[in-house]
Amino acid sequence: MSDVAFKCRELLKEEGVNILSQIDFKINGKIKTVTFEYILDTFMMASYESQLVFLTALQKSINSKEGGVEKFFEGMGQLLLLTHLSNKIEV
């Protein structure tokens, strides 16, 4: 596990956020469920710079205190799913 991934997990743990929390997305009439852990692990496969951006955005979402963490992971999950879908589209 990278140092950035460890820091992200520690932040979530300190805030009492369950990393196994799930988010449901409706895609083409089907429900796709992803966990915070899946989203975090997937983003940690990106470049180191991208990992740092993820960490910084996570810290800001925690500081917002108004459902920020859940909204953050919902947005990151949507981004992952859109990226995954766009990679399957042939141009």
Helix (H) or strand (E) segment spanning residue 73? helix 68-88
What is the three-class DSSP state of 16? coil
Checking if the pLDDT of 62 tops 50, the result is yes
What pTM was estimated for this model as a whole? Answer: 0.85
81 DSSP 8-state letter: H
How sure is the predictor about 52, in pLDDT bands with cuts at 50, 70 and 90?
very high
Q: Alpha-carbon distance 38 to 43, whole Å?
A: 9
How sure is the predictor about 87, in pLDDT bands with cuts at 50, 70 and 90?
low
Q: How many CA atoms lie within 13 A of 49 on its CB side?
A: 0
